[in-house]
Structures are given as C-alpha cells and as structure tokens.
Chain A
Amino acid sequence: DAKTTQPPSMDCAEGRAANLPCNHSTISGNEYVYWYRQIHSQGPQYIIHGLKNNETNEMASLIITEDRKSSTLILPHATLRDTAVYYCIVRRGAENDYKLSFGAGTTVTVRA
C-alpha cells in the first residue's frame, strides 16, 4: 500500500472550516484514500473514503487532486468535539483485502 504524509499537528478555530492535507504521491490506480479519526480514549472512527472523485457525507468532504497524489479532508464547521487525531490511509480496493495501515496522523485541536 502507498505511504501517506500528513502534518503532525494543526489548530483550527471553532466554527471555521478545517482543511487537513495528505500527500500520497506513490498511490496506484486501484488504491483508495480513506480518512479515520480517533478521539481521545476511543477507538478510531471512519469518516470518508474516495477513489478519484470528490466525496461528501454528513461528517466531511474529501477533495482528491486530479493526479491523485494528494487529498484534503474538509470539516466544514469545526466544533470542539472534532478535536482528534486524523489518519489518512491509502488502501487497495481488492476484494477480501481490508487491512488498514495507520500512520502517525495529524493531531487537530479545535479552539474556542
């Protein structure tokens, strides 16, 4: 699976959009981009995933560049409860291959 690079930390003001970057320059054609987050003392939580089109759900939006070498997770209106470690993961979409490799992630702190 392709490796990802994320900034170690970032701050965000409550109510503003949080834009979390992720580089995955070695991504291959059959690999998906996944985002998870882990709030303190809890297990990781799935946020969103995509292949090449931009995706949006009730939690966030995922913007993938045309060359697929990077992506941005957008939390449209950050709240204090969005303070967490955010993981960008690239995974093959092969059937019966659901392993995830978590890196260090980005620690996001939302400030009032």
Chain B
Amino acid sequence: DVKVTQSSRYLVKRTGEKVFLECVQDMDHENMFWYRQDPGLGLRLIYFSYDVKMKEKGDIPEGYSVSREKKERFSLILESASTNQTSMYLCASSYYNEQFFGPGTRLTVL
C-alpha cells in the first residue's frame, strides 16, 4: 500500500516562528502536493512539485515556501508563522490518476 506520512499530527507554534512541515511518501511518486483545509473553504492547493528541485505555486502560495531535495520528501515552510495560517495541512503524492493523502497536520499558531 502507498504510504504518505507527515511529521506531526498536531503542532502548536507562536507567531513569527519558522515552521517546517515534512511529508514523506514511499512509492517513488513523481508528484507531490501541499493543501490546507479550512471549514467552509474546502481543500486549497498551496504548492506542488513534479520532480526533485521543482516546485510550482498553487492557488494560495503567499506566506509559504517549499523544498524538494529528494524524490520522497516534500517540505512546506512557513517563514514567519501568522495566526491566519492556523489550519489543517494535508500532503499528497500521485503517480498518475490517483492522489494519496497523508493523515494531515493540524497546526495552531498562537
């Protein structure tokens, strides 16, 4: 079975902190994605990557950056966390038609 793991299920950070959210997949997938999910807004795409060292902006990239140094790992970085970045963050990977999602990280920024 494809497995997508995320470094933490719950995370609490303070305003202004630099935050790293890590995502690892074990199926050698080319494509990886970061979404955030908020009540009433559904899932929104932040960034995605089609290959190592490659990244593309999604629908809401402001305030975020990403890093993909290895094929299996895709990191989401909040350079200076703000309270409006409190959300559920979901990572996914895909080979072709199907995206496989991790369990999510619920981030709270105080």
Contacts and interface: CB of A to CB of B under 8 A. Distances in A.
Interface of A: 32, 34, 36, 41-46, 49, 87, 96, 98-105
A63 B59 CA distance: 30
A67 B90 CA distance: 34
A43 B89 CA distance: 10
Interface string B85-99: 000001010101111
A87 B43 CA distance: 10
Nearest to B40: A104
Contact of A99 (B40, B45, B104): B45
B101 A45 contact: yes
A46 B100 contact: yes
A104 B103 contact: no
A44 B94 CA distance: 13
Contacts of A44: 43, 90, 92, 99, 101
A98 B97 CA distance: 7
B25 interface: no
B61 interface: no
Contacts of B103: 41-43
B48 A102 contact: no
Contacts of A105: 42
B99 A98 contact: yes
B50 A103 contact: no
Contacts of A45: 101
A99 B58 contact: yes
Given A98-B96, A103-B42, A104-B42, A43 B104 contact: yes
Interface in B66-110: 90, 92, 94, 96-104
Interface string B42-56: 111100101000000
A43 B90 contact: yes
A17 B91 CA distance: 32
Given A98-B99, A102-B44, 19 more contacts: A41-B103, A41-B104, A42-B103, A43-B90, A43-B92, A43-B104, A44-B43, A44-B90, A45-B101, A49-B98, A87-B42, A98-B48, A98-B94, A99-B33, A99-B58, A100-B43, A100-B99, A101-B45, A102-B35
